[in-house]
Amino acid sequence: MEHIIPTKKQINNITNQNIKNFESKRLILIEAVKSHFDIYEYQFTDKRIWTYMYEKYIVQESYAQWVQKLLTLSSKNIDKIFSIYSKQYDEIVGLIRLHNISSKHCKAEIITLIFYNRQNQGFGIESKQILINYAFDVLNLNRIEFYIDINNYKSIKSNIKLGACFEGTLREHMILNNSYKRSSHLFSLLRSEWKNV
């Protein structure tokens, strides 16, 4: 499949949509809609960004199903899904999710996916900071969890820098589609800790 780079008009259409967004000095989190996935399909289907993710990676044939699954989770308020828009690059640089939101237990998990060509620029940690503030201040959650593949050293370092507490290792707690037995480090943040970080 030929990869088409989005036009300035398409980018403007994304940022001008009348949907909830949150921002920092460099980033805006924009509630994800289908058009974001259509425009950035070539980035989302880059296997290099799926190395440490639950799904491992998305192949072209299943991309539409994956997008539909995310949008369905969002419509049911099980997840809150945001595109990460960079003011500097004037484009979307990744995706961030509040996953498995539990109103009963006041907690959720954060999953971050930064496009390969925009990694190592601090977008992951900065987008997490925006979303954590939203989770604690708007959704009134008490606990945020991060399940990090034990081999994902950059994400482990990022969560330590964020001030998340290392709670332990879940050994081979997931078997992914390719039979990979994933072990994850569990990190967490509590609302009472976040204001002091």
Domains along the chain with CATH numbers: 8-141 (3.40.630.30)
Q: What span, in angstroms and rounded, lies between the C-alpha atoms of 150 and 156?
A: 8
pLDDT band at 1 (very low <50, low <70, confident <90, very high): very low
CA trace torsion 161, 192, 82, 58 (10° rounding): 60
Instruction: Mark out the alpha helices in 63-196 (DSSP H runs).
Output: 63-75, 123-137, 153-162, 191-194
Q: CA 98 to CA 22: how far, in whole Å?
A: 14
pLDDT digits (tens, 9 = 90+) for 111-120: 999 999 999 9
Between strands 165-175 and 143-149, the pairing is: unpaired
For 38, the token pair is 């259509």
**Which run of H or E residues covers position 38?**
helix 34-39
What are the pLDDT digits (tens) for 17-36? 544 568 899 999 999 999 88
